[in-house]
């Protein structure tokens, strides 16, 4: 532990007290003080120049002027000088104020004493007495009927704001399981809305697709958020699928929901040589040849596959809706 009685007399490790104050040059030399005063004034003046620069850039500089600066490259002059003007006008006020405090204001250390926070015993006792008296006066302890009915009333009134929030949104019902894809819905390019024939896709090609809109229909982002599909063509012999999933493909063309089964980002990154899909958000990796099975990353489920076929006019259409909900999981999701 620290010191023992013996060493208190010698006390080489006791508090030596605040060190002696060392005077600054500006304290002793009036010329130095005057110089410091001038320096502070210069700093404040630079701030004024900054404001002038700001006003000039705002009022007179053209928006289309670009200047070339090292590191920054070609940059918009108005934006740059507005910002620099503002920065200088503020920064140098601060610099001047701090320099003034450091150089010219007294820098003798001052000692203040801390008082104990704990109140006097008499005050604490008085406080307890006051509270007890007040509680007695309220009579809650004796009048349990009041206590219980008050509790019930307050609890009930707390329900009103909760109930008012009910109309924040509709109930989901089975929305999560439904997309716009139905049997016979044509696949169209995104953007462009052109229907697609198998011959339009070469081996190694991808297409971003959406379901064809009926005439007069508008495409909403909510629909895109569930309907977006990725179309990929590989050589049919490269598939490693069971018979059912294979029947959902057409001549090497396979379709998956583009909405990541992890957290809903668009899984559009297709690596042609490895036949992997990569989601850039959390790096879930899906193997196209095995029905988008997850081979790396945090996603726990493969991407839902859309069954394809060709309609009478030769265009690619969905054979049926998705057989499972697309996108991230949720409590009511019942598929493996």
28, 191, 214, 313: residue in contact with other proteins (rule CB under 8 A): 191
Q: From the list 87, 128, 131, 246, which residue makes contact with other proteins (rule: CB under 8 A)?
A: 87
Tell me the per-residue interface mask from 130 to 169 with other proteins, x by CB under 8 A, - otherwise: -----------------------------------x--xx
Q: Specify burial of residue 185 (Cβ count, 10 A radius: 0-12, 13-18, 19+).
A: buried
In whole angstroms, give the CA distance from residue 21 to residue 177: 77
- Rounded to a whole number of angstroms, the minimum distance from the CB of residue 239 to other proteins is 17
- Please choose, out of 143-151, 206-214, 249-257, 316-324, the segment that lies near other proteins by the rule CB under 8 A: 206-214
Structure token pair of residue 268? 């559009």
Does position 213 interact with other proteins (CB under 8 A)? The reply is no
Rule CB under 8 A: choose which of 280, 311, 314, 323 binds other proteins. 280
Give yes or no for residue 103 binding other proteins (CB under 8 A): yes
94 binds other proteins, rule: CB under 8 A: yes
Q: 3-class DSSP state for residue 255?
A: strand
* Closest by CA position to 230, among listed 277, 262, 186: 277
Count of positions on this chain that bind other proteins (CB under 8 A): 137
**Site residues for other proteins, window 217-246 (CB under 8 A)?**
221-222, 224-226, 228, 232
Token pair belonging to 135: 């509680």
Measured between its terminal Cα atoms, the distance across the chain in Å is 65
Q: Is 317 in the site for other proteins (CB under 8 A)?
A: no
Write the DSSP string, 233-247: E--GGG----HHHHH
175 binds other proteins (CB under 8 A): yes
DSSP line for 38-69: HHHHHHHHHHHHHHHHHHHHHHHS-TT-EEEE
84 counts as binding other proteins under rule CB under 8 A: yes
Residue 230, helix vs strand vs coil: strand
CB atoms within 10 A of CB 257: 25
- Rounded to the nearest 10 degrees, the angle between the axes of helix 77-103 and helix 30-60 is 160
Q: List the Cα angle 12/13/19 in 5-degree steps.
A: 90
323 binds other proteins per the rule CB under 8 A = no
**By CB under 8 A, what part of segment 12-71 binds other proteins?**
12-19, 22, 24-26, 58, 63, 66, 71
Binder of other proteins out of 29, 197, 217, 235 (CB under 8 A)? 197
Q: Does 100 bind other proteins (CB under 8 A)?
A: yes
Applying CB under 8 A, does 274 fall inside the site for other proteins?
yes
In terms of CB distance, is 186 or 258 closer to other proteins?
258
């Amino acid at each position: 532990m620290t010191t023992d009685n013996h060493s208190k007399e010698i006390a080489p490790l006791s508090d030596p007290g605040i060190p002696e104050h060392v005077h600054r040059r500006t304290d002793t030399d009036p010329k130095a003080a005057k110089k410091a005063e001038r320096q502070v004034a210069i700093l404040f003046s630079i701030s004024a120049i900054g404001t002038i620069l700001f006003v000039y850039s705002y009022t007179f500089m053209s928006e289309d002027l670009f200047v070339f600066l090292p590191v920054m490259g070609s940059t918009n002059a108005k934006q740059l000088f507005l910002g620099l003007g503002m920065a200088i006008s503020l920064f140098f006020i601060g610099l001047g104020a701090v320099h003034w405090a450091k150089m010219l204001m007294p820098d003798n250390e001052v000692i203040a004493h801390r008082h104990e926070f704990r109140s006097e015993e008499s005050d604490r006792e008085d406080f307890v007495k006051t509270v007890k008296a007040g509680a007695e006066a309220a009579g809650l302890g004796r009048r349990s009927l009041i206590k219980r009915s008050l509790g019930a009333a307050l609890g009930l009134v707390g329900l009103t704001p909760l109930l008012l929030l009910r109309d924040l949104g509709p109930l989901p019902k089975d929305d999560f399981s439904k997309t716009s894809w139905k049997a016979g819905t044509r696949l169209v390019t995104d953007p462009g809305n052109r229907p697609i024939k198998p011959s339009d896709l070469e081996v190694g090609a991808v297409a971003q697709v959406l379901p064809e809109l009926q005439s007069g229909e508008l495409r909403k982002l909510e629909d895109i958020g569930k309907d977006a599909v990725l179309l990929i063509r590989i050589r049919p012999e490269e598939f490693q699928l069971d018979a059912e999933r294979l029947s959902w493909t057409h001549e090497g063309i396979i379709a998956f929901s583009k909405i990541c089964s992890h957290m809903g980002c668009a899984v559009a990154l297709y690596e042609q040589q490895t036949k992997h899909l990569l989601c850039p958000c959390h790096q879930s990796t899906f193997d196209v040849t095995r029905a988008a099975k997850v081979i790396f990353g945090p996603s726990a489920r493969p991407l839902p596959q859309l069954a394809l076929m060709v309609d009478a006019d030769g265009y690619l259409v969905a054979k049926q809706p998705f057989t499972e909900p697309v996108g991230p999981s949720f409590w009511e999701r019942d598929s493996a």
